[in-house]
Amino acid sequence: MQKLNVAVLGATGAVGQRFIQLLENHPWFQVAEVVGSSRSASREYGEAVNWVLDGSPPNSATNLTVKALEDDLDSPLVFSALPKEAAETREIELAAQGHIVCTNASTNRMVEDFPLLLPEVNADHVRLVDVQREKRGWTTGAVIANSNCTAMPVVMALAPLRQFGIKKILVVSAQAISGAGYPGVASLDILDNIVPYVSGDEQKLETETLRMLGTLHNDRVEWLPSILSASCNRVPVVDGHLVNVSIELDEKPTLEEILETWSSFRGMDPVPHLPSAPEPPLHYLPQADRPQSRRDRNTGNGMATSIGRLRECPILGYKFVALSHNTIRGAAGGSILNAELLAISGYLGSFQPNHESIVAHA
Amino acid sequence: MQKLNVAVLGATGAVGQRFIQLLENHPWFQVAEVVGSSRSASREYGEAVNWVLDGSPPNSATNLTVKALEDDLDSPLVFSALPKEAAETREIELAAQGHIVCTNASTNRMVEDFPLLLPEVNADHVRLVDVQREKRGWTTGAVIANSNCTAMPVVMALAPLRQFGIKKILVVSAQAISGAGYPGVASLDILDNIVPYVSGDEQKLETETLRMLGTLHNDRVEWLPSILSASCNRVPVVDGHLVNVSIELDEKPTLEEILETWSSFRGMDPVPHLPSAPEPPLHYLPQADRPQSRRDRNTGNGMATSIGRLRECPILGYKFVALSHNTIRGAAGGSILNAELLAISGYLGSFQPNHESIVAHA
Amino acid sequence: MQKLNVAVLGATGAVGQRFIQLLENHPWFQVAEVVGSSRSASREYGEAVNWVLDGSPPNSATNLTVKALEDDLDSPLVFSALPKEAAETREIELAAQGHIVCTNASTNRMVEDFPLLLPEVNADHVRLVDVQREKRGWTTGAVIANSNCTAMPVVMALAPLRQFGIKKILVVSAQAISGAGYPGVASLDILDNIVPYVSGDEQKLETETLRMLGTLHNDRVEWLPSILSASCNRVPVVDGHLVNVSIELDEKPTLEEILETWSSFRGMDPVPHLPSAPEPPLHYLPQADRPQSRRDRNTGNGMATSIGRLRECPILGYKFVALSHNTIRGAAGGSILNAELLAISGYLGSFQPNHESIVAHA
Amino acid sequence: MQKLNVAVLGATGAVGQRFIQLLENHPWFQVAEVVGSSRSASREYGEAVNWVLDGSPPNSATNLTVKALEDDLDSPLVFSALPKEAAETREIELAAQGHIVCTNASTNRMVEDFPLLLPEVNADHVRLVDVQREKRGWTTGAVIANSNCTAMPVVMALAPLRQFGIKKILVVSAQAISGAGYPGVASLDILDNIVPYVSGDEQKLETETLRMLGTLHNDRVEWLPSILSASCNRVPVVDGHLVNVSIELDEKPTLEEILETWSSFRGMDPVPHLPSAPEPPLHYLPQADRPQSRRDRNTGNGMATSIGRLRECPILGYKFVALSHNTIRGAAGGSILNAELLAISGYLGSFQPNHESIVAHA
């Protein structure tokens, strides 16, 4: 099976580096093009990048020549780790030119005909690709967004509880520094400190969460009819966004019923067959003091969500804690899983992952 | 003016050290006796103590000989930083012997005839001293408790809002490691980590908060008729407990009315005249990202509470962030302020702070 | 190929957990017995252990019943993560009973007929097993020690430089908290802090380093004839011991010659063929600010040593920085590599790793 | 006594903020002018500054209007927290215009006729002011530099040991993040990490240290005839630079003689009479594990140097640990002490601190 060439936009930034790292040895995709800022353009990736992840950039990427943002791309599939402003026009341009753009930028997450995918939860929203193609006159191109890194563990934990009628969701986050990119949070702002504010994230949580948990109806996503209140905090943790969540449910399931619902959750088909899909997507930890940011962020190679401390909330009924790796599942890894869903769903043109690689995983 | 001799129980522990540190140069009290574990007894304090606060123990304390827990005490006023179990019987014994015991232990906080004081909020609860003396046949002794360190900023921020009818209180805490004493939290458990659990604290918050905010009626405290839901988290911060709070209010004040209520709050008389009372007790910070644990914990010498981020909560109506120094105002400093209230209220026998020292402060 | 059964002593402690973690899926060894404290004995490992590493204990270990320290063991190979005192008699007893004991305890590191192995550096010291067997009348048993976690990166970096005549070695360490075990360092002692003292480590460095770098001569290790000065510091880092090293060399190689020596170093035969051996054992990082504790500790699965910043020292001639993972290569992983060396050298009785598994690795 | 008006250059930066904070309530000086970047100019200081220190900017400064760098200044005394490049020309211009410029910038530290003052150590170097005035034709102006923040604790600890003949000095530092200003070190670079590199600091240490420890001879500073080797590391600590130091001394004092020398050190006259001078300047801590960055940085209001762990070094003879607060004594506080020395020495024109304020302190 021939691997599909992909491009990474914003490849020298923190999330861009995660794309490069996670795509190393990917069974279906291979990085063929890296796109950076004008400062990096025309240099070798290995020299241009200030690698902020552990270790060193993978050898397969170091010799690639960084392209400028405006350069034409050959790769049919494009992962975007562009900053918000740059993403706004460039992602649409590339889609119009026929590229599939899987983006981590917040810019295009709430555009009505762009799917905001968390595949285990809303794989069927992928059909918005057809909607956008028709509406915009695109044939092979598309824009597909992945979740905000803080909304992500909330959505994963709540998805299987939709059957109980989710009325209210109150979230207080403890977000890792890597969520702000690089250089991002100044060390003087966060060492021995909690900052009870993350610019823009409360608004994103209060909207994107409900869109992701919504249902596709007449080619539109109907948001989950629920109210969400979010309070976002930055904490001195390298990776891993932890959320304290209280919820009100229409039906009044027992705690055991909720646990059972979580433990039996496998995600919508065909997600369990995708190479980057965690098995299972949710891990409930029975210990009184879990999940913890450092100890549980890498569960399922950083693609799974850990949940714990389910108990009664005297106000809303139920409360629990959830945790996901914000730069893996909550950013680059999430986007890669989205691309895998597109591939297996036939949206990547002639590219078709072979049966063995799918079966091997499942 | 002759200073009053005081004893400190549990003087070698982390909170005991804060008592020693804060009582150095206190205008009314002087440390005359230090009581430690059997391991420390009969040694000089300066040698027995493993000083975990900044700097070194004050010279005035280093030469005191550590007494054993069962030793008789001469000091009329006793500050207790005993662990829960040791506190249970010893504090009552000492009160029965005629000592005023201001305790930081959780053991006696919820005893019906023991005042649980946060003086700005409930100075009038001090009259429970009369109740306990009558009930127990004590003449000069008494037991007075101070607040749990996490409930404290919640109570301070909510006290002036009682006029609006507080119906529901949802608290998610970010608690410093010093709240667990020494050695307390293992570094492997908290570096680059969040632990979403603090043993026992959620229960304490859900009860002590309502008792402190209650009203004295027929010699009993009637709890604030409200519901509280608490989720407690340990964070990698040295000092300072930060809380994200959502509340529902019966009346629907505007945000401006709440701000005005906070800014005009000075605490119940005679608290503003006490030497350790912060002026003002509440500081509202208008910046989007404050209060912060490290930067705001020492406001008012660690005795004040900082508040910020007042905004609408889509679920409960209002939300904000509050912060206090957990081992100063939330422990030793709070207990010292309680003792000052007792002194000025005439409960410390013949000891009467002179007029100048009070006026000088106010 | 049948895997060899192994026992882990002190299996519930922090280093014991690393043994359990690293032995999961080991190609030659499988954990058959776990030994813990009296508190843990007779319980299932998964319940008895307070897992302090990331994630959860591997499934293969959770159902093992914890044995008591004095229980007889069936496994021919025993890994010891015992505390110093417990190690002193038990390790010798087990060796006398015929077990091969690969120990991480410091107790037996400097016993003259016990090899202190860092296989790439002194694989030939393994012949001391014959010496101890003859001297002590043991037939199949033996005690083999691995390096102190701070000496380890020093020894790895200096080993190939012995050809230049090492006269003086000055080391200042920055040691991670995991080096102190669990609960180990109190968080109040290390958050936002440097502690310039690690009990006992300076003495260990000043002796063990020279023994490991020594040569086997007439069945005795002749220490490297050099002087070492060590200053040990504890730092707020989870894993990874970093050392600033200055050295004086008899011959005066150029910096380039030293770099060349490091880059060509592969370790003594047969180490490169062992499953846990990192390839290469040394990584020289050309960036000005590397190696760094967090970013480089996992190089070579935590088994390699990273070096950087080679430059002239105005006093001793040369200086550089080195880093290793203290609980992988500097503890459990180092001991496992030692056991692999014993296996391939024929010291594990009839157990002989098959050719394929060796070739596959090399 | 009328206070002297002072200006602060770079007043909105991290060190500039320390100047503002430390000058609040200074007995001799009052901040009359604040100078910032073009972005801040013409705004009120309280609005323009992003206050990164604890708490809030002092009220006395918040209403000052920020001046632009090129604006004329009225204050005779100017404190400079300018970045290196901006300092280069502006400080000289201001001195030429008649201002006394006490600078924390590195730019002018090694200019031969500019004193590099650490007053306890080299107060007599202040006579270079006469030299520079004569040479440059200045009448009332001058440029005076304070020490690099990492060299500072080394110089303080070594100053009294010059009598023993210091031949070699090997320093390995652990430097706090605040040494890099704001935003300075990215949190992703330092959380759970050690970075064994601080750009430029090793060179500064290897030269400035020797100049500060030098002697004034024929209107020139003759450097201490010694060799220094420095290795600089950035550590996850907010404030406080800690150094591990090994030294070779010509004479061979006993450890007791060195301790006695440190404990009797009071600094050159007239420094002990200055308001910001710590008494004593050196604190030797007898505990095995001190000084520690967090616990000892505030000794003497952050103006003193703490020393500990004096012991034999097998290579150079002696080793110890020293610590100072890098943004107080090692930056703004050091510069203020320099200005106090200038005032008392008659270099501030007609301004003369009155006798009471000096005697009150001493």
- Tens-digit pLDDT profile for residues D153-165: 999 999 999 999 9
Give the gap in angstroms from C-alpha A106 to the nearest C-alpha of chain B. Answer: 21
- Binned at pLDDT 50, 70 and 90, residue A356 comes out as low
CA–CA gap between residue C331 and residue C327 (Å, rounded): 5
Scanning B210-239 for CB atoms below 8 A from D yields 238
Cβ pair A219, B218 in contact under 8 A: no
Cβ pair C163, C222 in contact under 8 A: no
Residue of C nearest to D313 (CA): C229
CA–CA gap between residue C51 and residue C13 (Å, rounded): 8
- The reply to whether residue B237 touches residue C177, judged by beta carbons under 8 angstroms, is no
Report which DSSP code applies to C29: E
Q: Is the pLDDT of residue A357 over 80?
A: no
What are the chain D neighbours of B236 within 8 Å (beta carbons)?
Answer: none
Q: Which helix (H) or strand (E) holds B59?
A: helix B59-62
- Give per-residue pLDDT as tens, C42-80: 999 999 999 999 999 999 899 999 999 999 999 999 999
Residue recorded with tokens 């027992």: A254
Using CB atoms, pick whichever of D246, D291, D308 lies closest to residue C229.
Answer: D246
- Give per-residue pLDDT as tens, B51-88: 999 999 999 899 999 999 999 999 999 999 999 999 99
Quote the tokens at residue C333. 């992983």
Q: How large a percentage of chain B has pLDDT more than 90?
A: 95
What value does the mean pLDDT take over residues A107-119?
96
Task: Encode burial over A61-76: b for 16+ CB neighbours within 10 A, e otherwise.
Answer: bbebebbeeeeebebb
What pLDDT does A362 receive?
47
Residue of B nearest to D300 (CA): B55
- Chains in contact with C, where contact requires at least 3 CB pairs less than 8 Å apart: A, B, D
What pLDDT does C358 receive?
63
CA–CA gap between residue C230 and residue D271 (Å, rounded): 36
What pLDDT does D307 receive?
98
- Chains in contact with B, where contact requires at least 3 CB pairs less than 8 Å apart: A, C, D
- ipTM of the predicted assembly exceeds 0.90: yes
- Binned at pLDDT 50, 70 and 90, residue D360 comes out as low
DSSP D38-72: TTTTTSBHHHH----SSS---HHHHTSBEEETTS-
Q: How large a percentage of chain A has pLDDT more than 90?
A: 95
What pLDDT does C355 receive?
62
CA dihedral angle for residue C350, residue C355, residue C358, residue C361, rounded to 10 degrees: -150
**Residue in B99, B102, B125, B149 annotated catalytic:** B149
**Beta strands in C81-178, from DSSP E residues, in sequence order:** 100-103, 116-117, 142-146, 166-174
CA–CA gap between residue D241 and residue D177 (Å, rounded): 9
Quote the tokens at residue A175. 């977000």
Q: How many CB atoms lie within 10 A of CB A142?
A: 26
Strand partners, A102: A79, A144
Round to the nearest angstrom and report the end-to-end CA distance of chain C: 18
Q: Is the pLDDT of residue D139 over 60?
A: yes
CA–CA gap between residue B91 and residue A227 (Å, rounded): 49
Whether this prediction's pTM lies above 0.90 is answered by yes
- Give per-residue pLDDT as tens, C309-355: 999 999 999 999 999 999 999 999 999 999 999 999 999 988 988 76
pLDDT, chain A, mean: 96
Give the gap in angstroms from C-alpha A241 to the nearest C-alpha of chain B. Answer: 10
What pLDDT does C356 receive?
64
Is D355 noted as a catalytic residue in this protein? no
- The reply to whether residue D183 touches residue A186, judged by beta carbons under 8 angstroms, is yes
C194 at A interface, C-beta within 8 A: no
What value does the mean pLDDT take over residues C153-178?
98
Give the residue from C172, C120, C207, C194 showing the smallest Cα distance to C319.
C172
Give the gap in angstroms from C-alpha C14 to the nearest C-alpha of chain B. Answer: 10
Residue of B nearest to C183 (CA): B186
- Give per-residue pLDDT as tens, B334-354: 999 999 999 999 999 889 887
**Residue in D102, D125, D149, D232 annotated catalytic:** D149
What value does the mean pLDDT take over residues D191-196?
98
Give the residue from A149, A362, A166 showing the smallest Cα distance to A261.
A166
Q: How many CB atoms lie within 10 A of CB B208?
A: 26
CA–CA gap between residue A289 and residue A229 (Å, rounded): 24
- Binned at pLDDT 50, 70 and 90, residue A311 comes out as very high
- Chains in contact with D, where contact requires at least 3 CB pairs less than 8 Å apart: A, B, C
Compute CA distances D12 → C113, D18, D44, D61, whole Å: 65, 10, 11, 11
Q: Max alpha carbon distance in chain D (Å)?
A: 60
Count how many residues are written for chain A: 362
Could you tell me which residues come within 8 angstroms of residue C206 by beta carbon, excluding any fewer than 6 positions away? C228, C229, C230, D314
- Binned at pLDDT 50, 70 and 90, residue D354 comes out as confident
Q: Is the pLDDT of residue D349 over 90?
A: no
What pLDDT does D362 receive?
47
- Give per-residue pLDDT as tens, B118-147: 999 999 999 999 999 999 999 999 999 999
What pLDDT does A161 receive?
98
What pLDDT does D353 receive?
87
Q: What percent helix, strand, coil does chain A show, rounded to 5? A: 35, 25, 40
Report which DSSP code applies to A125: G
- Binned at pLDDT 50, 70 and 90, residue A359 comes out as low
Q: Which helix (H) or strand (E) holds A68?
A: strand A66-68
Q: Which helix (H) or strand (E) holds B34?
A: strand B29-36
Q: Is the pLDDT of residue C362 over 50?
A: no
CA–CA gap between residue D350 and residue D243 (Å, rounded): 41
Q: Is the pLDDT of residue D240 over 90?
A: yes
Residue recorded with tokens 């914890």: C66
CA–CA gap between residue A263 and residue A261 (Å, rounded): 6
- Binned at pLDDT 50, 70 and 90, residue A1 comes out as confident
- Give per-residue pLDDT as tens, D95-111: 999 999 999 999 999 99
CATH no. for C151-324:
3.30.360.10
CATH no. for A4-148+331-361:
3.40.50.720
Cβ pair B131, B115 in contact under 8 A: no
Residue recorded with tokens 């323009």: D48
CA–CA gap between residue B10 and residue B19 (Å, rounded): 10
Of 3.40.1390.10, 3.40.50.720, 3.50.50.60, 3.40.50.300, the CATH number of D4-147+331-361 is: 3.40.50.720
Taken in order D105, D110, D114, D115, the sign of the CA dihedral is positive
Q: Is the pLDDT of residue C293 over 60?
A: yes
What pLDDT does C354 receive?
75
CA–CA gap between residue C138 and residue A329 (Å, rounded): 54
- Binned at pLDDT 50, 70 and 90, residue B362 comes out as very low
Quote the tokens at residue A184. 């991002």
- Give per-residue pLDDT as tens, A152-183: 999 999 999 999 999 999 999 999 999 999 99
Residue of A nearest to B202 (CA): A313
Give the gap in angstroms from C-alpha D293 to the nearest C-alpha of chain A. Answer: 14
Using CB atoms, pick whichever of A206, A238, A321 lies closest to residue B196.
Answer: A321
What value does the mean pLDDT take over residues A65-76?
97
Using CB atoms, pick whichever of D178, D182, D188 lies closest to residue A182.
Answer: D188
Per DSSP, the three-state class of B31 is strand
- The reply to whether residue C292 touches residue D170, judged by beta carbons under 8 angstroms, is no
CA–CA gap between residue B208 and residue A341 (Å, rounded): 51
What are the chain B neighbours of A237 within 8 Å (beta carbons)?
Answer: 192-194, 236
- Give per-residue pLDDT as tens, A221-268: 999 999 999 999 999 999 999 999 999 999 999 999 999 999 999 999
Strand partners, A318: A247, A312
Strand partners, A67: A35
Size of interface A-B (CB pairs under 8 A): 129
Task: Tell me whether strands D66-68 and C220-222 are parallel, antiparallel or unpaired.
Answer: unpaired
Using CB atoms, pick whichever of B192, B206, B227 lies closest to residue A294.
Answer: B192
Q: Is the pLDDT of residue C360 over 60?
A: no
Q: Which CATH class is domain D151-325?
A: alpha beta
Same topology for domains C4-148+331-361 and C151-324, yes or no? no
Q: Is the pLDDT of residue A361 over 60?
A: no
pLDDT, chain C, mean: 96
Residue recorded with tokens 């040479």: D135
Is A241 noted as a catalytic residue in this protein? yes
CA–CA gap between residue D81 and residue D198 (Å, rounded): 19
CA–CA gap between residue C26 and residue C22 (Å, rounded): 7
Cβ pair A143, A101 in contact under 8 A: yes
Give the gap in angstroms from C-alpha D331 to the nearest C-alpha of chain B. Answer: 20
- Give per-residue pLDDT as tens, B188-247: 999 999 999 999 999 999 999 999 999 999 999 999 999 999 999 999 999 999 999 999
Tell the burial category of A111 from Cβ atoms under 10 Å away from its Cβ (0-12, 13-18, 19+).
middle
Domain boundaries of chain A, sorted by first residue: 4-148+331-361, 151-325
Scanning C314-353 for CB atoms below 8 A from B yields none
pLDDT, chain B, mean: 96
Compute CA distances D31 → C122, D24, D58, D82, whole Å: 66, 8, 11, 16
| CA C346 centroid distance within chain | 21
What pLDDT does D355 receive?
62
CA–CA gap between residue C20 and residue C127 (Å, rounded): 28
Interface test with B, best of C175, C191, C238 (most B CBs within 10 A): C191
Please calculate the CA angle D186-D192-D197 and round it to the nearest 5 degrees. Answer: 60
What are the chain B neighbours of C188 within 8 Å (beta carbons)?
Answer: 14, 52, 177-178, 182-185, 238
Compute CA distances D67 → D11, D26, D82, whole Å: 10, 22, 14
C289 at D interface, C-beta within 8 A: yes
